[in-house]
Structure formats: C-alpha cells, structure tokens
C-alpha cells in the first residue's frame, strides 16, 4: 500500500512521456492525422508544423515556424485556401498524396509523382523542409515532394531561389498580403535567367522594381553585404539547375531571407539576447536601387547630389534635380556627331552595378569583347561577365544603358564597365589632360625658379656674413 502513490506517480510519468512522445513526433504515416491543435516537431527541435491563425485573422492555416519563435512562420501550406474552422487535418491519402482536409473538401498539397511511394511518410526535417518520402529509404535525399520547392515568403538556409531546368520550374518568394493574411502579395523576389542570372524584385504584373547586377563569380553586383561573417552565398549552375542559396558560417547562427508585405527583401539574424530578429540589411537599400532611377544613359550615386550623373557625351535636359525619373533624361550633347568608327573610344567606370543586361556571349574573352564592341556601331558598352571567377564571358549593350549604380558603399560589390564615348569627348579629355600637364609643368618651372632664387639669396647672405667674419 505504501508503494501505491509512487506507483501512480510512475504510471502517470510513463503516460506523460508517452503523450509527449506522440506529440513530439517528426513524421506521420498514411493512417495518422495532424489535427488542429497537434503539431510535428523536427528531431532536434528547430522547427514545428501545425495549425495557426495569423495576426487578427480567425482563419486557420497550416504552417511551419521556428520552435524558438512560434510567431515567425516560414512556410504556409494553404495560403490561398484558408480553413474557416478548426476541423482541418493533414494526412496522406490512399494514393500517397499529402492532403489537407476540412469538412467539405480536400486541398491537395503534394501531387502524384511518377514514383508513387510504397510506404509513404511525411516528415518535418531539421532544416524546416517538409518532405514526402519512402519510409524504407530514409537515408536518401530523393523526396517525392518537398515544401522547399514551394517557398512562401522566406528563404531558409539550404533552400534554392531559382530554377530547376529538367523539368523546368521556378522557385521564387512572394510576400504575405499583410501580417493578417498569408495570401500571396503583389511582389516577387526571383532569379531571372533570360540572358544572365540577375536578381529581381518585381511588382505585379511584371514591373521591375529592383534589380541586382549579374552574378560576378562571387556576389551579385549592387546587393549590399554579400561579403560577411554570417552567411556564405552560393550560386549553382549545372545542366539541371541554376539557383542562389546560402549557408550560415556557424551552425549556431539562425538566419533567413524574408520578403515583407511592402516588397522589401530583408536578411534577418536571430538575436538570442533580445529573443528577436535583427535586420542585417534590407534591399532596396537606397534611392539608387529603384529600377532605372536615373533613366537611360546615366548612372546613380549616393555619395553626392544630384544622384544622377549623365554619361560622357550626354547632358541633362533639365537641371532640376526634383524631376521624376521620366523627365530626368540625359540627351546626346551633339546629336549630329556620329560616334561610329569616327575615332571614338571607351571610358572605364569602376565599381558599378552593371546596367540591365540583354546580350551575352560565354565564349568571348574581354579582348574579343573590346574588338567586337568597337567594330559594331550599335554597341554602347561592354564588360567582363565573370570578373571575379575568371571564367570569362562578354557582356555587350546594344540599347540604352539602364539602371546603373555606382557602388560607393565598401560592402557592396561593383564591376568595371567600358562605355563608348564620342571622339569629341575624348578630345575634350585630351585637351583637359594636356592643360593640366601644361599647368603643372609651368608651376614646376616657376616653383623651381622661386626656390632657386630663395636658395641663391640665402647663399649670398651667408657668403656676405662669412666675408664679414673673415673681414673682422
Ligand atoms: C460545407 O458545405 C456547406 C454546404 O455546401 C456549407 O454551408 C459549409 O459552410 C461548408 N463548410 C466548410 C467548412 O467549408
Ligand atoms: C494518382 O495516381 C493514382 C494511381 O495512378 C490515380 O488513381 C489517382 O487518380 C492520381 N491522383 C491524382 C490527383 O492525380
Ligand atoms: C560567341 O562568340 C563566338 C566567338 O566569337 C562565336 O563563334 C559564337 O557564334 C558567339 N555566339 C553567339 C551566341 O553569339
Ligand atoms: C551589331 O550587333 C548586333 C547585335 O548582335 C547585330 O544585330 C548587328 O548586325 C551588328 N552590326 C554589325 C555592323 O556587325
């Protein structure tokens, strides 16, 4: 009898442990459900999956959030299909498909793949990836379906922003409509690969809002703080894939990329001391990041005002720096002068975010690039594609140079670009240089003459003094 209390305690402990275990599972099999109120927790407790209502909303969504920060939802399964009540459940159906069911309908999350798993399980991994896999093949990373292929507004370490080439599909980020509604907002953050890889923030339907320069082998030009001690950017280009991803430098660092409802891309780092997110940087970063801020034939800078600088051979049509980008135009100084095979040359601008790219040849090196551009009258500029990586490639511009930015911030990478300038500008340059040379030679001559005079006088004085001494 004495032992009864202890016995009951022991039993309830076992019961407690049991229920704890069943709640703390990281996967379900086809006979199991995750009902509203239940969650999956990844094996090392980093991420949790379950039902939630965002902000002031009463609708229910299935999401994945950080265990340490349940308010930070990184993925939403049913962004467009909120569940009105608490009757929703997540399960695997008879065909091995992951479905979210409510009273009346089922929302299909995964689809039939060519390989239907024999023993399907759905597992929440420690990376935050929800995967459909075969329970007899748990070591393999070949998933029948994974949430990382359908990003919401967050890019976690290991997720890919960009393209699968075979079969062709794209992974892009879209923000929530608002803090209360995960429905996809009007912006997208994506990797454009039409000519060369460039990052874009676009607004619906397809207006360019912000653009990075092309990947230069190490970073995307114009994007702040790609060099840092928090995360390593990674750019992968194989026959099958073309994407951007990143890994944290240290396992203890918790970091993410988020697109917020106003279309701003934020790099965030978890700060354990304040138990909150610190924003490492935002993009767009300054006024010069706005797409085509200065119009054509100009570049933007933040180091001085006015921000817009016309390229050599162009001048501003109006001096009013409050002009809108549409009216702020740089026009040719001497429209009648032909800058074709007429003695023109190139001006090199350093540390620039290259203009929006529309022509690229991988097999040409920078010398061939120069020769071809000079020969072709419609070539406005050229640049080395892989300036850092050294694998070559030639970029040329045959239309207006748009969205160029001077990267004066030392944490932002920029590249060199060679811009065609008419002969008259080169002549101006030559005259200017010559004038400077003449002025400096004249001042050198005058300077040495004065110096000589001073020395001569001083020498004469001491000589006179000396004479006096000798004389006395
Ligand atoms: C289910 O369908 C009935 C009738 O069509 C409708 O009144 C009810 O609101 C639906 N319930 C849910 C949860 O969608
Ligand atoms: C999935 O495949 C099974 C068997 O091939 C088929 O019966 C079912 O209709 C398919 N479901 C969908 C959603 O395509
Ligand atoms: C690229 O340049 C090489 C060498 O000049 C040339 O043979 C090739 O046709 C070019 N490719 C394209 C797509 O212009
Ligand atoms: C200049 O380059 C453009 C674009 O590649 C091409 O269409 C055009 O024919 C070239 N012109 C000359 C004169 O080579």
User: Ligand 3 within 6 A of 428 CB?
Assistant: no
CA distance to 223, 230, 260, 414, per residue, from 233 (Å): 12, 10, 21, 16
Q: What is the mean pLDDT of each run of 10 residues along the chain (472 residues)?
A: 49 44 77 94 97 96 97 97 94 91 84 75 96 87 91 98 95 97 97 95 94 88 80 92 95 96 96 95 93 93 90 80 63 78 89 95 94 93 84 91 90 89 77 51 57 60 44 29
The CATH number of the domain holding residue 248 is 2.90.10
Q: Which atom of ligand 1 is nearest to the CA of 105?
A: 14
Q: Report if residue 251 sits inside a domain.
A: yes
For atom 11 of ligand 3, the residue with the nearest CA is: 361
User: Ligand 3 within 6 A of 305 CB?
Assistant: no
Question: Do 58 and 143 belong together in one domain?
Answer: yes
User: Ligand 4 within 6 A of 424 CB?
Assistant: no
Q: Report if residue 120 sits inside a domain.
A: yes
Q: Report if residue 235 sits inside a domain.
A: yes
Last residue of one domain, picked from the residues 129, 150, 171: 150
Q: Report if residue 1 sits inside a domain.
A: no
Question: Do 174 and 98 belong together in one domain?
Answer: no
**Ligand 1 cavity residues, CB under 6 Å:** 84-85, 102-104
Question: Do 57 and 144 belong together in one domain?
Answer: yes
**Ligand 2 cavity residues, CB under 6 Å:** 95, 112
pLDDT of residue 19: 43
Q: Report if residue 465 sits inside a domain.
A: no
Question: Do 312 and 270 belong together in one domain?
Answer: no
Region of 281 (left: φ > 0; alpha: ψ -120 to 50; beta: rest) is beta
CB 232 within 8 A of CB 247: yes
User: Ligand 3 within 6 A of 363 CB?
Assistant: yes
User: Ligand 4 within 6 A of 378 CB?
Assistant: yes
pLDDT of residue 261: 97
Query: What is the tally of structural domains in the chain?
Result: 4
Question: Do 281 and 381 belong together in one domain?
Answer: no
Q: Report if residue 404 sits inside a domain.
A: yes
For atom 10 of ligand 4, the residue with the nearest CA is: 376
pLDDT of residue 229: 85
Query: Minimum-distance ligand to the CA of 102?
Result: 1
Question: Do 445 and 411 belong together in one domain?
Answer: no
Query: Minimum-distance ligand to the CA of 397?
Result: 4
For atom 1 of ligand 1, the residue with the nearest CA is: 104
Question: Do 146 and 156 belong together in one domain?
Answer: no
Q: How far is the C-alpha of 212 from the C-alpha of 233, rounded, in Å?
A: 14
The CATH number of the domain holding residue 143 is 2.90.10.10
Question: Do 31 and 123 belong together in one domain?
Answer: yes
Question: Do 443 and 406 belong together in one domain?
Answer: no
Q: Report if residue 461 sits inside a domain.
A: no
Question: Do 123 and 32 belong together in one domain?
Answer: yes
Measure 103 CA to ligand 1 centroid, in angstroms.
7
Q: Report if residue 430 sits inside a domain.
A: yes
Residue 429: give the domain boundaries: 424-455
Query: Minimum-distance ligand to the CA of 107?
Result: 2
Last residue of one domain, picked from the residues 239, 261, 285: 285
pLDDT of residue 14: 45
For atom 2 of ligand 1, the residue with the nearest CA is: 104
Question: Do 184 and 242 belong together in one domain?
Answer: yes
Question: Do 96 and 31 belong together in one domain?
Answer: yes
For atom 7 of ligand 3, the residue with the nearest CA is: 363
pLDDT of residue 408: 82
């Amino acid at each position: 009898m004495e032992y009864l209390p202890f016995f009951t305690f022991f039993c309830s402990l076992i019961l407690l442990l049991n229920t704890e275990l069943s709640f703390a599972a990281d996967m379900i099999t086809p006979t199991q459900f995750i009902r509203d109120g239940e969650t999956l927790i990844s094996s090392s407790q980093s991420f949790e999956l379950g039902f939630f209502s965002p902000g002031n909303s009463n609708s229910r969504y299935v999401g994945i959030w950080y265990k340490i920060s349940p308010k930070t939802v990184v993925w939403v399964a049913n962004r467009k299909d909120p569940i009105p009540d608490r009757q929703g459940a997540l399960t695997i159906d008879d065909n091995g498909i992951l479905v979210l069911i409510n009273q009346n309908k089922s929302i299909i999350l995964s689809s039939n793949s060519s390989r239907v798993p024999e023993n399907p399980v759905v597992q929440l991994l420690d990376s935050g990836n929800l995967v459909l896999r075969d329970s007899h093949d748990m070591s393999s990373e070949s998933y029948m379906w994974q949430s990382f292929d359908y990003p919401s507004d967050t890019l976690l370490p290991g997720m890919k922003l960009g393209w699968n080439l075979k079969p062709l599909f794209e992974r892009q980020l879209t923000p929530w409509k608002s803090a209360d509604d995960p429905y996809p907002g009007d912006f997208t953050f994506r990797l454009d690969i039409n000519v060369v890889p460039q990052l874009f923030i676009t607004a619906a339907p397809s207006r360019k809002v912000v653009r990075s320069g092309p990947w230069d082998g190490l970073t995307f030009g114009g994007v702040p703080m790609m060099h840092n001690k928090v995360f390593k950017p990674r750019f992968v280009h194989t026959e099958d894939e073309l994407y951007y991803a990143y890994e944290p430098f240290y396992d203890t660092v918790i970091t993410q990329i988020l697109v917020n409802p106003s279309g701003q891309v934020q790099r965030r780092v978890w700060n354990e001391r304040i138990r909150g997110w610190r924003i490492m940087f935002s993009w767009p970063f300054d006024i010069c990041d706005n797409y085509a801020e200065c119009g054509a034939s100009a570049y933007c800078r933040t180091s001085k005002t006015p921000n817009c600088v016309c390229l050599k051979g162009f001048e501003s049509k109006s001096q009013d720096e409050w002009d809108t980008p549409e009216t702020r135009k740089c026009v040719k100084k001497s429209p009648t002068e032909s800058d074709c095979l007429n003695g023109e040359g190139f001006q090199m601008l350093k540390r620039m975010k290259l203009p929006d790219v529309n022509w690229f040849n991988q097999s040409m090196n920078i010398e061939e690039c120069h020769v071809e551009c000079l020969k072709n009258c419609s070539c406005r500029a050229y640049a080395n594609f892989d300036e850092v990586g050294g694998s070559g490639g030639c970029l040329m511009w045959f239309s207006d140079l748009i969205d160029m930015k001077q990267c004066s911030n030392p944490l932002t990478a920029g590249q060199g670009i060679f811009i065609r300038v008419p002969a008259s500008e080169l002549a101006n340059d030559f005259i200017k240089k010559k004038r400077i040379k003449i002025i400096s030679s004249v001042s050198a001559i005058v300077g040495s003459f004065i110096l000589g005079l001073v020395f001569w006088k001083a020498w004469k004085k001491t000589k006179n003094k000396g004479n006096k001494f000798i004389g006395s």
